[in-house]
Amino acid sequence: MTTSSLHRLCAAWALTLWACAAQAVPLDALLDANPQARYGQGLLEVSADRMNQSLDVFKLRGADLALADNTGDHQGVTLRAGLSLAPTVWVDGALQRRKLTYGPDQPQIDAWRLGAQWQFLPAQAGQATAALRLSAWGNQAAQVSKSTPTALGPLNCSGSAGCVDRLSVNDAKDRTLQADVVGTWPLGPVSLSAFAGAGQGKVTVDSITATASQVPLLGNVTTTYRNGSFDNPLFAIASNLFNFNTELQATNYNTRTAQAGFNLAYTSGPWLLRGGYALQHIQRTAVDDVITAKGKTPYSLNHTLVGELAYKLTPRVVLFTRGQAMSNQFLTEIPFLYNSLTSQRFNQRYGVLSVGMGVLF
């Protein structure tokens, strides 16, 4: 084995370990059948991802997500890497850590992604390229809390009566396997890409902790819901009586996803401008039936726009800024955040701005 081959094998193994270790943001709106043409043999990229009231000059967030109390703020960092294993084979991975603020709650969400694509129609000078892409991605959080009062079933919150003061979802995660077909057509300084794909996934929650105050006969109570029941007998009876148990069971569900979209890339000297669009649909078992039974609207479609402006400082170093806008915030990007208690937050648009640096090798 040559030194070059050994180096490439070690780099691929390191990339695989790194991509499996944590988290990622799917930027599928910018999928390309021939990433080698843009990145060469490989890419290492880091970015800071932010959204707050000062940055939201284009009003990317809905009204409820742009409040003075920092609701809707986003802080994150993303690492991405890609490597060409052969002229027709590309692998990539991404890791991300972010915090989302909603009132008093600020969960930390970790994500990961690992993908590989193969050009079944190899790149030729001035000709179209087509590739099959397989990817796995997911999100996870040790705890996601809702610190505002939650009514039990049909009851209305009056003071602390009929309410759970705080709900904490423990060890929440989602996993998705996805396949896409991507085509890219070079048009002089412009290239056009289009893609379509589908996936299957699963959302799981280990347990849910509920805290309530002024409970008759019990006073302040903290109890845990696991395997279909609360460990406090009074809460177990109340949750069944008011059908709250059904809502909690629906926090574990399966998903099916489908997407299609396109993007354009324009190159002029050291400048690169890209813009892409993705239409994404997610179908869920159990949870949407619960939402409909409550007389509320389930959400399944997300429109995503991504724009990027990059500048090559040197042939190997690139600075970039990137914006992502979504019609229904993280509906299709962080599936585990969606359940019968949070679904109404997903009728709000959202956006994230990123600034970063990439190294080509």
- The 10s digit of each residue's pLDDT in 26-35 is 689 999 999 9
Quickly state the pLDDT bin for 218 (edges 50, 70, 90). Answer: low
Yes or no: say if 19 and 94 are a contact pair by the CB < 8 Å rule.
Answer: yes
- Burial of 314: CB neighbours in 10 Å, binned 0-12, 13-18, 19+: exposed
pLDDT at 294: 85
Domain ranges for the chain: 3-140+179-201+253-360
- Please tell me which residue, 36 or 52, carries the higher pLDDT value: 36
pLDDT at 229: 86
- The 8-class DSSP code of residue 105 comes to B
pLDDT at 5: 40
Of 16-20, 83-87, 259-263, 284-288, where does mean pLDDT reach its minimum?
A: 16-20
Rounded to an integer, what is the distance from CA 326 to the centroid of its chain?
Answer: 11
pLDDT at 69: 59
pLDDT at residue 139 is higher than 70: yes
Q: How far is Cα 201 from Cα 283, in angstroms, rounded to an integer?
A: 10
What is the token pair recorded at 31? 């999928």
pLDDT at residue 104 is higher than 50: yes
Quickly state the pLDDT bin for 15 (edges 50, 70, 90). Answer: very low
pLDDT at 243: 73
Yes or no: say if 317 and 285 are a contact pair by the CB < 8 Å rule.
Answer: no
pLDDT at 14: 32
Q: How far is Cα 117 from Cα 182, in angstroms, rounded to an integer?
A: 9
pLDDT at residue 349 is higher than 80: yes
At the top level of CATH, which class does the domain 3-140+179-201+253-360 belong to? mainly beta
pLDDT at 341: 83
pLDDT at residue 270 is higher than 90: yes
What is the token pair recorded at 1? 């084995």
- Diameter of the chain by CA atoms? 78
- The 8-class DSSP code of residue 296 comes to -
Helix (H, G, I), strand (E, B) or coil at 232: coil
Instruction: For the beta carbon of residue 196, count every other beta carbon within 10 angstroms.
Output: 15
Yes or no: say if 322 and 353 are a contact pair by the CB < 8 Å rule.
Answer: yes
Q: How far is Cα 333 from Cα 94, in angstroms, rounded to an integer?
A: 14
Quickly state the pLDDT bin for 8 (edges 50, 70, 90). Answer: very low
pLDDT tens string 231-247: 988 778 877 777 778 88
pLDDT tens string 172-197: 999 999 999 999 999 999 999 999 99
Of 34-43, 132-141, 235-244, 295-304, where does mean pLDDT reach its minimum?
A: 235-244
Query: Can you name the residues that pair with 261 across neighbouring β-strands?
Result: 195, 278
Please tell me the pTM assigned to this model: 0.86
Pairing of strands 42-51, 190-215: unpaired
pLDDT tens string 247-258: 888 999 999 999
pLDDT at 279: 97
Of 186-200, 210-224, 291-305, 323-337, where does mean pLDDT reach its minimum?
A: 210-224
pLDDT at residue 17 is higher than 80: no
Share of the chain above pLDDT 90, in %: 62
What number of helices (H) and strands (E) belong to the chain? Answer: 5, 16
Distance (Å) of CA 16 to CA 22, 147, 355, 360: 11, 38, 25, 18
Query: Can you name the residues that pair with 203 across neighbouring β-strands?
Result: 174, 253
- Mean per-residue pLDDT, 43-55: 90
Query: Can you name the residues that pair with 209 across neighbouring β-strands?
Result: 168, 224
φ and ψ of 53, to 5 deg:
-60, -35
pLDDT at 307: 96
